[in-house]
Amino acid sequence: MTESNWAIVARLVRSQGRHGEILAEIHTDFPERFAERKRLFLLSDESSETPVREITLESHWLHKDRVVLKFAGVDSINDTEPLRGLYVAIPASERTPLPEDEVYISDLIGCELFDHSTGRVIGKVDDFDRGANLLIVREGRNEHLVPFANAYIETIDLSARRIEMRLPAGLLEINAPLTADEKKQMQSEREG
């Protein structure tokens, strides 16, 4: 099994009750599908190649922006403790099919981002900020926050692990680290 064989649907956070219920962050755009799923897998982290174990979902309910899960055989607070931090996954082959012009966020992680405006590779997609709809792109030690907006997207080729965008001038400089001259100027402004 490889990382691409799994789709992460939640991350277990903490106990949420006295009878083995556990609160989880939702990592899926289809939380209603928990009602259809009884067989899930627990992974030690998102890059784990082997499931920790297969587990049966007895019940679930949405709680604020999270989900509370109750698994078979997990019947106390003590039973939930070893599960904290584990990822809940399904086989990637069981993901909900998407329309042709849509992609799963998890499929973007690890893709190379190319900017047609500058003609250069910006870096690799390291993460995604769902709240702000931003790609978090690493270029060496630098991190770029890039809006994942249709207006900027040229092509997404998941088989080649490449996203091509046309970014507005100056976008990458907004979050760029300060140069030595900029740091000196800021220091002199504070002192003077």
Q: Give the pLDDT of residue 156.
A: 95
Looking at residue 2, its pLDDT comes to 42
Residues 154 and 85 in one domain: no
Residue 25 belongs to a domain:
yes
Tell whether 109 and 90 lie within a shared domain.
no
Whole-model pTM over 0.75: no
CATH number at residue 87: 2.40.30.60
Same domain membership, residue 72 and residue 112 = no
Residue 56 inside a domain? The answer is yes
Domain range holding 86? 3-94
Q: Which residue intervals of the chain are DSSP H helices?
A: 77-80, 105-108, 171-174, 180-191
Q: What is the pLDDT along the chain (192 residues), one digit of tens a residue?
A: 345 688 889 999 999 989 999 999 998 878 888 998 999 999 986 555 666 799 999 999 999 889 999 999 999 999 999 999 999 999 988 888 888 888 888 889 899 999 999 999 999 999 888 778 899 999 888 889 999 999 999 999 999 999 999 999 888 887 766 677 877 888 888 886
Supply the CATH number for residue 160's domain. 2.30.30.240
In a domain, 171, yes or no: no
Question: Does a structural domain hold residue 185?
Answer: no
Phi-psi region of 110 (alpha: psi -120 to 50; beta: other; left: phi over 0): left
Q: Do 49 and 75 sit in the same domain of this protein? A: yes
Are both 42 and 75 inside the same structural domain? Answer: yes
